[in-house]
Structures are given as structure tokens and as C-alpha cells.
Amino acid sequence: MTKLEKSLKINFKDKNLLKQALTHRSYLNEHPEYQGESNERLEFLGDAILEFTTSDHLYRVFPEFPEGQLTVFRSAIVSTKTLSKVAKSLNLGQFLFMAKGEEEGGGRNNPTLLANTVEAIIGAIFLDQGLKTTQDFIKRHILFLLPQIIRSGAYKDAKSKLQELVQERVKNPPIYKVIKEEGPDHAKIFTVGVFVNSKKLAQGKGSSKQEAEEEAAKTALEKIG
């Protein structure tokens, strides 16, 4: 924990919050003696704080851009790809608490799991240190990647391209909805549909909602041509 705190540049008052942020739900099944929770509730909180902080930053830094372009940038920043990159830079994988089976299945390098852990840590920092410290952490470890994302065009994933195309044609943005969830909690498969004006364009599957949304967007772009 001390090593990770140095990497995060944050000294937690409540060390249990940091451990919770690093605890995958699979760990609870093998360790009934553990009295804490998994990181899923912290992930929920951290996701909201990350979106808010990113939105505020983009709004202030790019006053000339419409909301559609800001949404595209935000999607790239909070994406699994970006957050897993941040997690790897902090070596979060080595600190995770997970079941043996999850670890043997490559859990410590799983992009979705790593991205979720970053969000959980953001939630933990917020509860332990407050909003200012949390936003400083987000700016230091995540938002600094924004110029590189823009220069390289990395923000133009399938979801971003579909959003640009749809908003040009019908103004209303595409909406993503979970159609089905299959499999056990630690290995769920999501089926997500993408809709425009209540009409389903396509659907996609993935091990996370984000991955399924991206697949749905790719299929929709292929259909649109």
C-alpha cells in the first residue's frame, strides 16, 4: 500500500478505502474473512466524478468547440483504452486483490478490469481526500493525455465517428442500451444496441458495456457505409 501511495502521490487517511478500490469481486468468494466490499461501488462513484471533472475541463479549455466535439473528446479520455493505459503506468495490476482463477485468466492485465480499478481509486480518493485532491489526481494522471489524444486522432473511435455522422444527419445523438447480460458476474457478456430516434441501427457484444457499445458502433458504421 505504501508503494502504491507513493506512485499515486496520495497518503490515504483510511487505508481500507484504498484496499477496497483494489479488491475485485472475485476475491470475496475465496476470502470470507475479508470484511470489506469489492470495488464496484467505488467504481460507480469514481466514474461520475471522472466524467464531471473531464467535462468541466473540456468546457473551459475549448470554448470554441460545440458540445458534440467535447463529447467525443470526453469519450476518448474516459475510455477503457485510456484508463487501462493509466493503470499500467501506475502498475495497478500488481496491487489488485482477486481470486486465483481470475489471476490465472490474465486478470492483472485485463484492460476492462484495470480501467474499472482506476475509477474505483478515483472514488476512494474523493471519499478520503475531497474533490480538490481528486481533481488534481485526475488532471495529473489522466487529463494530461488529452493533447496527445487530439494530436494522434485517437479520439476517433467507432462510437465517436458514429456520433459525428448521426448528428450531422439527424441532430439527435445515438443512444446505447443494454439488451442482454449473460454469464457469471466475474465473466459477463453484454449485448448492447445502438438506437437513433428509437430505431435500432445495430448491436454488439463485449466483456464490458463499453466494449459492447464500441462493437455496436462499428457494426452500425458498416451498415451505414
Pick the catalytic residue from 14, 40, 43, 47: 47
Domain boundaries 2-152, CATH class: mainly alpha
The whole-number pLDDT of residue 35 equals 87
Helix residue ranges per DSSP H, the chain: 2-8, 15-21, 25-30, 40-61, 67-77, 80-89, 100-104, 111-129, 131-141, 146-152, 158-170, 209-224
103 a catalytic residue: no
For residue range 121-174, list pLDDT tens digits in order: 999 999 999 999 999 999 999 999 999 988 877 777 788 889 888 988 888 889
119 a catalytic residue: yes
Domain ranges of the chain: 2-152, 158-224
1 or 179, greater pLDDT: 179
Pick the catalytic residue from 33, 51, 56, 119: 119
- CATH of span 158-224: 3.30.160.20
Q: What are phi and psi of 18, to 5 degrees?
A: -65, -40
